[in-house]
């Protein structure tokens, strides 16, 4: 069966969709969806709503994998800090919803690909913290729309997916992981030391396939086969997981 992938989305308030009416719209950049389609999956859009763990598990019962997408900043209060002056776009509902989904996916062993904001949500959900504004500590590679090298750990899940120890990622962020969340290991860094990839501890062939990346593989996957391989690997894991739990 074609893998069905949950994709977290943004709610855009009172947008003119071109028909003359202003209405709330559920949105996701098309690059996520196109990359999933190329990998042989289809998407299930997830609207952020108030939710608890039981409801989060119910949301995931009919899907085979979870993509935590990019977007605005995670509320710093969720990791015990006051907001930096550059903090923007905070949504308590979206933060809580996506953290609940992430923890529910981990609980059942579902494959997860966490991208940009997604890696931050995953880290915070597991008790980690964030660097709130990277330009305060580094200016080497992290600028909106910048492409930069990422060194990945040999033998890691992301290394197996990308097929290389050094990839070129496209960044659209001003935050990154600081204190690592429980159960995560760093498996990729930029040249300035910024954490660019994490995954769950445990044997590659045993622990659930949960990978987070700080860059946006979906944005260059159409032209860069290495980045598409990451999406392909995730969808392949989702297909195998879904087939196993449904038999």
Distance set, CA 192 to CA 49, 129, 218 (Å)? 37, 19, 23
* 193 neighbors 151 (Cβ within 8 angstroms): no
What are the backbone dihedrals phi and psi of residue 223, each rounded to the nearest 5 degrees, phi first? Answer: -110, -15
What are the backbone dihedrals phi and psi of residue 62, each rounded to the nearest 5 degrees, phi first? Answer: -100, 5
199 has catalytic annotation: no
List beta partners, residue 44: 6
9 has catalytic annotation: no
Here the tokens at position 28 are 């996701």
Alpha-carbon distance of 229 to 142, in angstroms, equals 23
20 class by beta-carbon count within 10 Å (0-12 exposed, 13-18 middle, 19+ buried): exposed
User: Which one is catalytic: 116, 159, 173, 199?
Assistant: 116
SS3 of 115, please?
Answer: strand
Alpha-carbon distance of 58 to 109, in angstroms, equals 14
* 7 neighbors 43 (Cβ within 8 angstroms): yes
What are the backbone dihedrals phi and psi of residue 172, each rounded to the nearest 5 degrees, phi first? Answer: -140, 45
* 67 neighbors 113 (Cβ within 8 angstroms): yes
* Catalytic residue annotation: 116, 216, 218
């Amino acid at each position: 069966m074609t893998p069905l992938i949950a994709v977290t989305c943004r709610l855009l308030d009172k947008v003119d969709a071109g028909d003359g009416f202003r209405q709330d719209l559920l949105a996701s950049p098309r690059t996520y969806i196109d990359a999933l389609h190329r990998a042989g999956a289809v998407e299930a859009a997830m609207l952020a709503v108030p939710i608890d763990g039981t409801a989060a598990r119910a949301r995931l019962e009919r899907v085979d994998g979870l993509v935590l997408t990019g977007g605005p900043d995670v509320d710093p209060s969720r990791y015990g800090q006051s907001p930096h002056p550059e903090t923007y776009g905070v949504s308590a509902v979206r933060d809580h919803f996506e953290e609940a989904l992430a923890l529910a996916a981990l609980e059942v062993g579902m494959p997860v690909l966490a991208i940009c904001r997604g890696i931050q949500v995953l880290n915070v959900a597991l008790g980690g913290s964030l660097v709130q504004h990277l330009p305060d500590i580094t200016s080497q590679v992290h600028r909106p729309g910048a492409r930069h090298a990422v060194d990945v750990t040999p033998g890691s899940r992301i290394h197996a997916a990308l097929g290389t120890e050094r990839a070129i990622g496209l960044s659209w962020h001003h935050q990154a992981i600081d204190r690592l969340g429980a159960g995560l290991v760093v498996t990729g860094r930029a040249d300035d030391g910024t954490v660019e990839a994490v995954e769950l501890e445990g044997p590659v062939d045993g622990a659930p396939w949960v990978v987070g990346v700080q860059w946006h593989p979906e944005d260059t996957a159409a032209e860069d086969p290495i980045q598409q391989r990451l999406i392909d690997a995730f969808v392949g894991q989702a297909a195998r997981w879904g087939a196993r739990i449904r038999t």
